[in-house]
Amino acid sequence: MNTRIKRAGTARARPGAITALAFLIPIVLLAASCGGSGGGEDEITLEEAEHLKASAKSEILSRTVEKPGGSGFAVGQVGGTWVASINNDPKTFNTMTARDGDTRDVVDPLFDFLADYDVYERAFIPNLASFEVNIDEEADRLTVVYTLRDDLYWTTPADDPPGGVKVTSDDVVFWYDEILGDRSLQQPGYASQFIEMPDGGKAHIDIEKLDERRFAFHYPRIVSNPILSTNMQFGPRYIYEPAKRERGLEGVLDAFSVDTDVTTVPSIGEFYITEYSPGVRVVLERNPRYWKRDEGGQSLPYIEKVVYRIVPDVNTEFLLFKEGTKDAYSVRPEDLDELLSVQNPDYTVYNGGESLGSAFFSFNQNPEHMNPVVFSWFSRTEFRQAMSCLLNRPRIARQVYRGLAVPAHHFFAEPNPFYDDDIRLEYTYDPQRAVSLLAEIGITPDAEGTMTDAEGNPIEFTINVGAENNIGVDICNIFADELAQAGITARVRPIDFQKLVEMITSTYEWEVMTASLGANYWPSSGVNVWRSDGNFHVWHPLQEEPATEWEARIDELYNDGRFTLDHAKAKAIYDEYQRLILEQLPVMYIVHPLSFLAVRDRWDNVFFDTLNGLDTTYVFLKQE
């Protein structure tokens, strides 16, 4: 009897178990994936939420480490494998054609610059070459003489040719004239070889070989920052020159494609490429003949091997870091909490401070391809100032970045030599002031509270944002909400990023957009953005003549600043330049998010800040 009951029970249990399995698989997976996050929460007031956010912010920051770089590197030992990741396969090993970030990550460690820039001292320092600037004020001429180090060699992992090929002035002169200076090769550095003359014409900056180690750049007029525009990386002449001679353009473009035997790719930099497995990984190994040494005379870098795993998905990169198979991870805001909540982690999250760049909003002022009514609003300075007053930067910092961002109130980035804390945005969040500014140009609320212009047109426009940019979409929604409270309708339109780029650079059919630019690190950087004839003068590109007086003045100040050596005079120029942009607001910067980097604790000499990033040259494996 007992046996029968038991068997029957078993028979009933089996289909039940299978049915349960059907539910169990996804439920187990879902439960595991959710990671045991908490249950429901009681409703809280807005004030309580703000207080919680503030305390959460300080709690988060207290669990991160601030360790800015600059000095104090300990002497280390060679060894260890640093595992990093890239999202795509490298497209080439040819430094001339390597453009995308992943390819540059792999190729850059094979090369080095003539001069280095000390971001903390704000000064250029010798690197592959020392330099001397000679100024002839009478003749309005300037010459920069570079002297290459005597211990520089192009070497390969296969040691072919044996002992390497000595680097001479001919390498630099060839690269400057025949590669960067060949218009048909369409190199990004081509335009930098010319400067504008006082008469409006253009003149070439010539290079001259002085001897095997010395070469000079001759400027046709005095410029304020000659090292910036002549500092460059260069490739091996002994490979590129015959390639160009024999096959011309195709010869140099075809050099070092990804099917090349990587052990034949020469390096003058910190690493060699020693392996490339398509779709899997790229391996770099330290170049023992790299010239840079530590205080103890040990050649740098300390890291023996760098493995770049090719991981197409950013989320997988994050999981790899959590799994422990990746050594550093640039932390996204949404990952921060998770990384900091791990008990006894084997990594440290470094707080690098405010990022130098910032996303911005821009209102189209290009009369072509635009609704004339909308153009009539956007082209008014008061309108843009009002929009800036409705852009609630503190709210964006709180709600989108959970307080881990600061409002962007300056035009130049902090390390810019002409940054001045007193020159700041006047049109910060102030809805009342926005209403007054709009009223000055005849835009007032109607009986229903909708803002209308003098002709009775309701103020409404579309904000375009890259669809994959979730944070950007959130920011746009907050801006639209603030605008709605002021009686203005803004439609947020997430679109494909390529489409957004096409709108900005080709069709110009947009009203408002948000995107990001690099930091205004150098006063003279961003000529393609700030000058009215620039292709990325977002709000009205490629102007034949400046469309407005203020744009003409910006062009003038930009040019004057580039050619003014005297710091005090240059500062007066750049002060006006910053003030004008912050007054006219062709772009409205939003916030500077804090920057975080997680690095495994097995590495020493880890310093991180937004000025210099993480300098892996000095990073070494801790001794157990």
Whole-number Å distance between alpha carbons of 154 and 362: 47
**Residue 168 has which token pair?**
């001479």
The string of DSSP codes covering 166-180 is E--HHHHHHIIIIII
Please report which helix (H) or strand (E) contains residue 42, including its range: none
How many alpha carbons lie under 13 Å from residue 363 in its C-beta half-sphere? 23
Nearer to other proteins, 88 or 298 (CB): 88
Cis bond upstream, residue 161 (ω within 30): yes
The three-class DSSP label of residue 332 is coil
**Residue 211 has which token pair?**
């001897």
Q: Whole-number minimum distance, CB 107 to other proteins, in Å? A: 13
DSSP bridge partners of 147: 130, 214
Q: Whole-number minimum distance, CB 236 to other proteins, in Å? A: 19
Nearer to other proteins, 504 or 590 (CB): 504
Nearer to other proteins, 84 or 396 (CB): 84
Q: Whole-number minimum distance, CB 153 to other proteins, in Å? A: 28
Q: Are 390 and 495 in contact (CB under 8 A)?
A: no
Is the backbone of residue 442 left (phi > 0), alpha (psi -120 to 50) or beta? left
Nearer to other proteins, 71 or 343 (CB): 343
Q: Whole-number minimum distance, CB 622 to other proteins, in Å? A: 23
Q: In what order do the strands lie in the sheet with 141-148?
A: 129-136, 141-148, 214-219, 206-209
DSSP class of residue 155 equals: B
Nearer to other proteins, 202 or 622 (CB): 202
Q: Whole-number minimum distance, CB 132 to other proteins, in Å? A: 25
Nearer to other proteins, 144 or 438 (CB): 144
Whole-number Å distance between alpha carbons of 566 and 560: 11
| Strands 512-517 and 358-363, bridge-based pairing | antiparallel
Whole-number Å distance between alpha carbons of 225 and 122: 12
**Residue 230 has which token pair?**
């002549």
Scanning the structure block, which residue is given the tokens 């003030």?
Answer: 579
Q: Whole-number minimum distance, CB 135 to other proteins, in Å? A: 23
Whole-number Å distance between alpha carbons of 557 and 572: 10
Cis bond upstream, residue 301 (ω within 30): yes
Nearer to other proteins, 122 or 499 (CB): 499
Q: What are phi and psi of 203, to 5 degrees?
A: -135, 150
Q: Whole-number minimum distance, CB 411 to other proteins, in Å? A: 17
Nearer to other proteins, 161 or 312 (CB): 312
Q: Whole-number minimum distance, CB 141 to other proteins, in Å? A: 22
Nearer to other proteins, 490 or 581 (CB): 581
DSSP bridge partners of 493: 464
Nearer to other proteins, 167 or 504 (CB): 504
Nearer to other proteins, 543 or 548 (CB): 543
Task: Return the exposure string of 586-621: e unless at least 16 CB atoms fall within 10 Å of the residue's CB, then b.
Answer: bbbbbbbbbbbbbbbeebbbbbbbbbbebebbbbbb
Q: Whole-number minimum distance, CB 307 to other proteins, in Å? A: 7
Q: Whole-number minimum distance, CB 36 to other proteins, in Å? A: 9
Residue 303 identity (one-letter amino acid): I
Nearer to other proteins, 16 or 367 (CB): 16
* Of 84, 15, 298, 272, the residue nearest 164 (C-alpha): 272
Nearer to other proteins, 298 or 505 (CB): 505
Whole-number Å distance between alpha carbons of 465 and 281: 33
**Would you mind telling me the total number of residues written for the chain in this entry?**
624
* Of 468, 461, 464, 490, the residue nearest 478 (C-alpha): 490
**Residue 127 has which token pair?**
């690197």
Q: Whole-number minimum distance, CB 530 to other proteins, in Å? A: 10
Q: Whole-number minimum distance, CB 22 to other proteins, in Å? A: 4
Q: Are 472 and 514 in contact (CB under 8 A)?
A: yes
Q: Whole-number minimum distance, CB 409 to other proteins, in Å? A: 24
Q: Whole-number minimum distance, CB 500 to other proteins, in Å? A: 11
Whole-number Å distance between alpha carbons of 239 and 223: 34
Nearer to other proteins, 480 or 495 (CB): 495
